[in-house]
Amino acid sequence: MPVEFSGLNGKVIVITGASDGIGAALATLTGSNGAHVVLAARREAALQGVAAASGGETLVVRMDVTRREDHARLLASAIARFGHVDVWVNNAGRGITRTVLELTDSDVDDIMLVNVKSALYGMQEVVPHFQARGTGHVINVSSMLGRIPLATFRSVYCASKHALNALTACLRQDLRVTHPAIHVSTVSPGVVATSFGANAIGGGPDSRGLPSAQPVEEVAEVIARTILSPSADVYTRDGMRQMAARYYGAEDMGAVEAEFTMRPATPAR
């Protein structure tokens, strides 16, 4: 067990979207360092594979994050197995390749349900448990596009992550006075080497083939360090915080947008 992550030993960590990508990497890292990991997603076979790679004590819960009642069942299952929950990671999410003028009602509803309401359901379910215990940690996995919406072909994805950031900050402020031992964190990755792009509504480039994509293992390490040393606002790569500060501190945000706006490799459908 690496000394850096030895503090994870014995912690009960719930991770949604744990069948692949960041969630799977986080489950493997925390589980291999002694955490009791509860893996949640729709694909049970994939979850079982992650559980086997994680080692230690794990619990697989097949669930749909878009169903509020599934979050209640997830929490109940975790408590039944491990007695309590220490950390709840809202990691599930979905991408989309649509500009603002191409969005349909269905596009907006689907992305907001998966990226915002699912995290809301998780927070509303687990925080009363944390309040009763007097301690706990909610981690919401957001995106750099939730700070700076420079990929216009990800329009409503950007909007959903901005909304998630706001809900996260509001919850943190509500709990700060009454329950100071309950931590609420936002983690903002950039482009990560996962199947996110390939699975986006409307298609898109496979992030795993992009030379600038951050390895999922690095993102998992950042989240693990956030568990061990809670912080409100976390970025997974150097320079991201400074870029956000530059954007919001600019007298003309449009000038920064003109400099950095990303374009898709192929036109959005």
Cα distances (angstroms) measured from residue 79 to each of 44, 72, 224: 20, 11, 21
Which token pair is 195? Answer: 């199947």
Q: Is the dihedral of CA 223, 129, 163, 28 positive or negative?
A: positive
Beta strands in 42-175 (DSSP E): 58-62, 87-90, 136-141
What does the pLDDT average to over 156-168? 98
Question: What's the pLDDT score for residue 269?
Answer: 27
Task: Write the CB contacts of 72 (distance below 8 Å, at least 6 apart in sequence).
Answer: 125
Q: Look up 235 and say whether it is catalytic.
A: no
Query: Which has more pLDDT, 130 or 209?
Result: 130
What does the pLDDT average to over 121-138? 98
At residue 153, does pLDDT exceed 70? yes
Cα distances (angstroms) measured from residue 222 to each of 13, 94, 174, 189, 216: 15, 21, 25, 10, 10
Report the phi/psi class of residue 137: left, alpha or beta, with left for phi > 0 and alpha for psi in -120 to 50. beta
Band of the pLDDT at 3, cuts 50, 70, 90?
Answer: low
Least confident window among 14-23, 168-177, 252-261:
252-261
Distance between first and last Cα of the chain: 47
At residue 145, does pLDDT exceed 80? yes
Which of 157, 235, 247, 248 is flagged as catalytic?
157
**Dihedral angle computed from the Cα positions of residues 262, 102, 97 and 246, in that order, rounded to the nearest 10 degrees:** 30
Question: What's the pLDDT score for residue 218?
Answer: 96
Which token pair is 207? Answer: 């992030």
At residue 172, does pLDDT exceed 60? yes
| 186 within 8 A of 201, measured Cβ to Cβ | no
Task: Write the CB contacts of 267 (distance below 8 Å, at least 6 apart in sequence).
Answer: none
Cα–Cα dist 116/22, whole Å: 18
List of domains in the chain: 3-260 (3.40.50.720)
The whole-model pTM stands at: 0.94
Percent of residues, the chain, with pLDDT higher than 70: 96
Query: Which has more pLDDT, 197 or 90?
Result: 90
- Residue identified by tokens 């996962």 is 194
What does residue 268 show for φ and ψ, rounded to 5 degrees?
-65, 150
Pairing outcome for strands 36-41 and 87-90: unpaired
Band of the pLDDT at 2, cuts 50, 70, 90?
Answer: low
Question: What's the pLDDT score for residue 267?
Answer: 38
Question: What's the pLDDT score for residue 203?
Answer: 82
| 137 within 8 A of 87, measured Cβ to Cβ | yes
